[in-house]
Amino acid sequence: MRTIDTTIDIDASPDQVWNVLVDFPSHASWNPFFAAIEGEATVGATLRVAARKDDGSEGVVFRPVVLDADPGRRLRWQGKLLVRGLFDGTHDFRLEPLDGGRTRLHHGEEFRGLLVPLFGRILRDTEIGFRDFNQALADRVEGRLADCSS
């Protein structure tokens, strides 16, 4: 098993962060890690999640199932590579309210399966991608709020 855990504090409420996080059609315009996310943030739904290649195009595509979709609090999905047990991942976004109307995003994934030990470099790159995603999400949410107050 291998776990990636990242966090970032965002100057917005959990509901404001949630609204951007689950606006899947807009991800293509701001998300540096996922080229596309399609589907609904509802428990039991199957998503289509495409990683972004270096040139910006779609890379590996996963079809995870949404495990939790608690607005303003948590989005979690579980996917697999080919068949369960080879390389499975449970992706998690948790929104923690902070003082002053801010939010701490906990963004991580737990990887399990026979191939996990062989994916060391990919998992290191994935952690960098999560951090890039976190910053882009914060910039997007905070930018929207700045636009609304202008």
**Tens digits of residue pLDDT in 15-72:** 999 999 999 999 999 999 999 999 999 999 999 999 998 888 888 899 999 999 999 9
* Residue 63 DSSP code: -
Q: Domain 2-149 class?
A: alpha beta
Mean pLDDT of 2-22: 97
**pTM of this prediction?**
0.91
Per cent of the chain over pLDDT 90 is 75
Does 133 have pLDDT greater than 90?
A: yes
Which DSSP helix (H) or strand (E) runs through 56? none
| Distance from C-alpha of 51 to C-alpha of 116, rounded to nearest angstrom | 18
End-to-end Cα, the chain, rounded Å? 47
| Whether the Cβ atoms of residue 35 and residue 135 lie closer than 8 Å to each other | no
% pLDDT > 70, the chain: 95
Q: In whole angstroms, what is the distance from residue 48 CA to residue 64 CA?
A: 7
